[in-house]
Amino acid sequence: MYRTLGAHPDHVDGVAGTQFAVWAPNASEVSVICNSNDWAHGRNVLWGNDNGVWSGFVAGIRPGDAYKYSIRTKSNDLLEKSDPFAFYSEHRPKT
């Protein structure tokens, strides 16, 4: 599944970026949030399918860039979730 889901570097029409795919069967909308979109839901919306997989290409995101999924639930709540198939994650030491 890690070959399909998660974040994978790609080029679309000569533009470098990342293909994203996440399984969120109970979502009404999924966006990728990151530094380049000021961590704002709705700027990089993914496409959903009947199997609950949301996917899409986001230009400019490179391997190692921080991102999360912003998931709008059917009850209109917004949740921010890390990628369960991420190749890297951020570690914050205890202070």
pLDDT per position as a tens digit, 36-65: 999 999 999 999 999 999 999 999 999 999
What is the C-alpha to C-alpha distance for residues 32 and 22, in angstroms, rounded to an integer?
Answer: 10
- Residue among 53, 51, 55, 48 at smallest CA distance from 18: 55
Residue percentage of the chain with pLDDT more than 90: 86
Which pLDDT band holds residue 2 (cuts at 50, 70, 90)? Answer: confident
What secondary structure, in 3-state letters, does 18-69 show? EEEEEECCCEEEEEEEEHHHCCCCCCCECEECCCCEEEEEEECCCCCCCEEE
pTM above 0.95, yes or no: no
